[in-house]
Structures are given as structure tokens and as C-alpha cells.
Amino acid sequence: MIVLRLTSNRLPASLVYVVAVAGTAVAALIRHFVGDLGGRGPLGPFFLAVLLSGWLGGWWPGLLATVLCTAVTAVFFVERTGFVICDIGDGIAVALFFVFGALTSWLCEVSRRRRLRLQAQEQDLLIGRAQLQESEERYRLLTEAQPGMVFTLRADHTVDYVNSAWVAFTGRTLQQLENDGWRDLIHADDRAAMIATISAPLERGEPHEVQVRFRRYDGMYRRVLTRVVPVKDATGKAVKWIGTTTDIHDLWVAREGLRESAVRLQESEKKFSTVASVPVLIWSSGPDKECDWFNDAWLTFTGRQIEQEIGDGWLDGVHPEDRQRCLDTYVRAFDAREPFAMEFRLRRHDGQFRQVVDEGVPRIVDGAFRGYIGSALDVTEQRLLEDQLSQARTMEAVGLLAGGVAHNFNNMLTIINGYTDLMLARFAIEDPTRQDLEAVRVAGERAALLTNQLLAFGRRQMRQPTIVDVGAVVEESAQALPGVLGRRVEISVTSDQRPARTKADPNQLRQVLLNLAINAQEAMPRGGRLTFHTSVVDFDGTSTGGNHPSLPAGRYVRLSVDDTGDGMTPDVKARIFDPFFTTKEFGKGSGLGLAVVHGIVLQSGGHIDVTSEPGRGTTFVIFFPYVGDLA
């Protein structure tokens, strides 16, 4: 871009104005010595002063000279009375002088600007030529310093420059190339393929590359890689091509020689990488029984560095009770060169021991034993589900048995209680026989209650499910609990203020609350706090706890019952829902309270979980399917 340097050849501003003043003074002296000449006198000296000032300084110095010359002429060289010029001709002459002086100053300014613009353009042109020459020289030196061959082509694809590396490789100078061309340097078998490859990019003016066999100065053909890029003008048309040619023959020969082995290695690495990246714990050992590698899944699982695991370091993560058995199995299989499988507990990064199944097989390479490679899989959840399935089947069998017995027993109790009521009606209140019958009646009611619990556990109790607000049932039941639990148990009811509706039998729901409350009271012999909390939660399908399987994703009513009692040991917590299991003394409990709770919850399509630690109380969490608004 041309930059206008308008002040590059101007005199300093102060000097130009001095010239304007001095020119006016000189013109006045000339006018003085020339004389009046009829009252008008020559204005030529003054006009020369204006012209000189305008030429040197432009508009403002010329205008200053015009004003000064006009003032001097009007004051000293024309007749006037006061401030009025006597002769109208003198006045017109003075006015015309001012006008022409100003016009002359403006023309000088225009001329000066144009002159400076032309000078700037000329200077920019000289600088551009110098920069072009410098760039061309730099480009020449750069290409000469390149170890590869560099060339340029004209728009018609004829060569107009080659560097010394090209000349040294081909043995041809630029003049020889201009006379003989360059296509005959290409191997005859490669010319057609090369032309087919480069024709379309050359027509479209696009970068391209091609591999061909190129004849060296000694007549030997070498495989080269040529890359060419276009130099385009403002319209996008290719006006020049710049290319490089690199001798890749040695690399190509080496690559072709290793292609087959590289393909096999790549396939092997791909398979190994795929296996190593799976979420299975994978390890390997050498022929010295020392483990020498663990995949990322193993290290992530244990939370340890590979330096800590190699050798026998991995045994530090095995549970102490399983360590010797695990080592013996590994050594025995290693000595026999046989596959093995073992199950043990391995410490996870969070300190929890997880059940894993580890399988290993010997690695035989070219008939030689290279050690073992194995994989370990976390089966904790699987074993837990198997235990739960076994427990569920046991519970189902016991429930069917208990439900069948209770159903038949309930039929007999109906007859017993019915006849007892009939006999009670025949005796007066003060009759001793009536007291005996009342004792029979109380025993029958207790037996009926036990029968109902057995029926609920066996899921054979008559249900009347309806849509209920769990929070409302909890608040209603909590009002009657102080009379059952006593004053030493403080009862608290909270909720998230949302209708927690589900479809269940209200009486069974009250039975669940009562059984859980009684269980909490027995865990707080010295008193404590019992808290009921209801809420509506959205569940994403992950596990609700460590003792139960996952719930399907969806919205649930969550009921938590929390006490500050003595808590439970893990062994007790694992059996609390078993029928007839109790920690009370013989004869003080049926062991059906929590089993009934479990049966009712499952019968209602819900899920129950429990967390407890000795000395930290117990929390039961029940999930019921949420059914939304009342119909």
C-alpha cells in the first residue's frame, strides 16, 4: 500500500512563515523604490512573494503572504482617507490581488500535495523493488540450503528454476531442462500413472503430490516423492508452481521389507490393546513366577502404581485370610504349567475387599514357556445376587408353607373364636366359668394376630389396595404410637411437603409402621428418637444399597424410619428379614415382625433397605412406586 508522506519534503513550518513575511517585506521595498507609477504601481513583487510562499509551504503560508501583501499595499501604496481607499480602482485592484493570491495559494497547495504524492509513490516503488530483490535472494539462498530438490514451474508447466540439489541429483542444468524437458527423467512405466494423477490438480490449480521412479545422474532410478503447490494471483489463477522432490528410495525399500512383519505386529498390538483396555483386570508374569505387568483396569481398581504391584506386590491387596491359599494355588499351577482358577478377596482403592475370580493360562511362545497371563473379574455383585436369590427362594418356600399352615389354622381359629363368643353370651359376668372363656378368647385373638402375620408374610392375606398418601398415613399412625412406645421415645415426622401417593393397603401400611416402631423401641431400651420422613424421589436405576438389588428407574415414594438405638452387627443385619429370626430371649418374640414388613412391602411392589452399625442406630428405607395424583 502506498503511504502519502505529505511533509517529507516540506521546509520547517516556522521557516516557511518567515519566508512569507520576508517575501512581503522585500516586495514592499521593491514597490517603494519603483515608485507610485500613477497611484497604482506594480503588484508583481507582491504576487511573487505569495507564489513563493505558496509553493514552499502550501495553503497557509501562501494565504499569510496574501494577507500581508494586501495589507501592506492597502496601507502604504494606495491613497486612502482613514480606512477608506480613495480611488475605487485601487480598491478593486487590492481586492483582486487578494482573491488571486488566495487562489494561487490553493493551487500551490494542490500542486504541492500532488508532488509529494508522486514522490511517495516513487519512494514506495523503490522500496518495493528492493524488498523484492531481497526476497528473491533470500528465497534463492533458502532453496540452495535445502538438502532436497526444489524447482519452480511457469504457468505452462515448464521449468524456470532448479536449485543446486536438483542439478546434482539429475546431472542436468536449467538450460538443459529448458531444451530437453523433464518428463523423460520419469521411469517409462510411471509416466502414465503420474500424468493421470497430476492432470486434474494442475487444471484446477490445486496442491498435489506423486511418487515416481526418477532417473539419477548415474542412470539409476530412485523412488522420489514430489509435492507441488500453486502461486495464485488476485483472481485465483495459478501463475506459478513451486515444488520439492525428496529421495525416499531407501525409506521405501525398508518399508516394503518390513511391511509384512509390521502388519502382523499391528494386528497383534491392536488385539492386545483391545484386551488390555477392557474393564477386566489383566496381569502377566514371567517364567520366574514374578508378575511383570498389570493393565490400567487393575491399577485403577487397586489404586496402586504398577511399581507396587509387580513381583509379589500384588499379594498385599489380597485379604490376609485368602493370601496363603491364593499363593499356593498359583505356585502349584505354575509348577505344573497348567491353567488355574481361584476366587479370593482383593482390596479395592477405597479399602473395601471385593470378591474376584482370577483365571490364568500359561504363555507358550515358539514352544518355550514365557510365564502366565491371566484376568480377574469382580464378582461381588454376582455373589451377592446369588445369595439374595437363594434367600428369596428360601423365603418363598417358607412363606408358602407358613401361608398354607396359617390359612388352615385361621379356619380353625374362626370356629374356636366363634364358639367361644357363643358360650360367653350364656354366662354372666360374675360367673367363674366366663373368666376361663375370656382367657380362651384372648388366646384366640393372639393366635389370630399371629395367623394374620403369617398370612402377610406368605402374601396370602386379603388386600384392599387403594391410592393413599403415605405421608398422611404416617402422621395418622404417629399420633397413636406414644401410647404404644411410651414416653421415653421421642417421635418426629417430617416430609418434603409433596403428596407422596402410592397404591397400597392402608391397614397393611399401618402394620408396617407399627412393626418398625416396635422394633425401634426394643432397640432403644433407654429411650431415644424415632424419625419418620416421607419424600418423592426420582431414581436413575443405580443400586439403593449394598444388601438389595437395583430398582428400575422411575419416581418413587421414599419412606425412611430412623432410630437412635443400639444398631446391629453385620451378621444380625443380614438375617433381620428371615422368618422366625429374633435376638430376643426364647418365648419373648415370634421373629415375624420384620419378616411381615418385608412381605407387605414386596406385596405392594416396593423395596426395603436397611443401614445399621453398632452404637449408631438403624435406618430402614422403603421405596413404593409413585402413582401421581388421585384418580
pLDDT of 617 over the 80 cut: yes
Confidence of residue 4 (pLDDT cuts 50, 70, 90): very low
Query: How many of the other CB atoms lie within 10 Å of CB of 220?
Result: 10
Count CA within 13 A, CB hemisphere, residue 427.
15
Model pLDDT, residue 498: 77
Model pLDDT, residue 101: 74
Confidence of residue 587 (pLDDT cuts 50, 70, 90): very low
pLDDT tens track for 384-404: 777 666 665 665 555 555 555
Confidence of residue 621 (pLDDT cuts 50, 70, 90): very high
* Residues whose CB is less than 8 angstroms from the CB of residue 397 and which lie 6 or more positions away in sequence, other chains included: none
Give the 3-state secondary structure of residue 67: helix
Chain centroid, CA 218 distance in Å: 58
* Residues whose CB is less than 8 angstroms from the CB of residue 102 and which lie 6 or more positions away in sequence, other chains included: 62, 63, 66
Distance CA 105, CA 404 (A): 127
Helix, strand, coil % in the chain, rounded to nearest 5: 50, 20, 25
Confidence of residue 541 (pLDDT cuts 50, 70, 90): low
As a whole number, mean pLDDT of residues 610-615 equals: 88
> What share of the chain has pLDDT > 90, as a percent?
12
Model pLDDT, residue 8: 40
As a whole number, mean pLDDT of residues 285-311 equals: 90
pLDDT tens track for 144-201: 767 778 888 888 888 888 888 888 888 888 888 776 577 888 898 988 888 888 888 8
pLDDT of 574 over the 50 cut: yes
DSSP bridge partners of 607: 623
pLDDT of 19 over the 80 cut: no
pLDDT of 347 over the 90 cut: yes
The string of DSSP letters for 236-282 reads: S-EEEEEEEEEE-HHHHHHHHHHHHHHHHHHHHHHHHHHHHTSSSEE
Closest C-alpha among 204, 242, 211 to residue 226:
211
Stretch among 345-359, 426-440, 442-456 having the lowest mean pLDDT? 442-456
Stretch among 132-136, 291-295, 485-489, 532-536 having the lowest mean pLDDT? 132-136
As a whole number, mean pLDDT of residues 309-315 equals: 90
Confidence of residue 32 (pLDDT cuts 50, 70, 90): low
Model pLDDT, residue 264: 61
Closest C-alpha among 361, 376, 185 to residue 297:
376
> Looking at per-residue confidence, does 437 or 510 come out higher?
510
Domains annotated on the chain, with CATH: 13-123 (no CATH), 147-253 (3.30.450.20), 282-378 (3.30.450.20), 380-461 (1.10.287), 463-631 (3.30.565.10)
C-alpha cell at 184: 523423460
Q: What angle do CA 542, 545, 546 make, to 5 degrees?
A: 115
Stretch among 142-156, 326-340, 424-438, 564-578 having the lowest mean pLDDT? 424-438
As a whole number, mean pLDDT of residues 71-84 equals: 62
| Mean pLDDT, rounded, of the chain | 77
Stretch among 141-150, 278-287, 528-537, 547-556 having the lowest mean pLDDT? 547-556
Element (H, E) at 504: strand 501-504
Confidence of residue 77 (pLDDT cuts 50, 70, 90): low
As a whole number, mean pLDDT of residues 19-48 equals: 63
As a whole number, mean pLDDT of residues 402-410 equals: 59
pLDDT of 371 over the 70 cut: yes
Q: What angle do CA 23, 28, 31 make, to 5 degrees?
A: 125
Distance CA 556, CA 101 (A): 100
Distance CA 173, CA 175 (A): 5
> Looking at per-residue confidence, does 241 or 390 come out higher?
241
Confidence of residue 496 (pLDDT cuts 50, 70, 90): confident
Distance CA 307, CA 27 (A): 103
- 161-181 residues labelled b (16+ CB within 10 A) or e (exposed): bbbebbbebbebeeeebeeee
Confidence of residue 232 (pLDDT cuts 50, 70, 90): confident
The phi and psi torsions of 470 (rounded to 5 degrees) equal: -60, -40
Distance CA 288, CA 476 (A): 72
Confidence of residue 624 (pLDDT cuts 50, 70, 90): very high
Count CA within 13 A, CB hemisphere, residue 250.
2
Distance CA 248, CA 223 (A): 6
As a whole number, mean pLDDT of residues 574-596 equals: 64
Model pLDDT, residue 20: 67
Distance CA 110, CA 120 (A): 15
pLDDT of 242 over the 90 cut: no
pLDDT tens track for 209-220: 988 999 998 989
CA dihedral (246, 252, 255, 259) in degrees, to 10, reads 130
